[in-house]
Amino acid sequence: QRSESILDRVVDDNEVVLFDPRTNTLHSLNPTASLIWQSCDGVHTVAMLTDLLCRHYAVSAERAKSDVIYLLKTMTDHGLLVR
């Protein structure tokens, strides 16, 4: 789920910009990462996020799952998500 300290804004309809005031860092998310970010509510599972990507983009479940896992790990490593 999203870290409570992160501020987010939607720009250009499908991209999100995140600001981490703890590190004074700005993160610009592409449409795929934005979709995942907006769905990180502590309820959606990896399987649900994978299905979401498959429905939005014509990609295989294997590719979508790989992308979801990569994005979740990257966002967690940057302190944007908490477990």
pLDDT, position 12: 83
Sheet holding 25-29, edge to edge: 7-11, 15-20, 25-29
Give the pLDDT confidence score for residue 14 in this predicted structure: 83
Note the pLDDT of residue 13: 80
Q: Beta strand 7-11 with 25-29: parallel, antiparallel or unpaired?
A: unpaired
* DSSP helix/strand/coil, 57: coil
Number of Cβ within 10 Å of residue 62's Cβ equals 10
Structure tokens at 15: 């991209």
pLDDT score for 69: 97
- Exposed (0-12), middle (13-18) or buried (19+): which is 53, by Cβ within 10 Å? buried
Instruction: Name the stretches of the chain with pLDDT < 70.
Output: none
Residue 63's pLDDT is what? 96
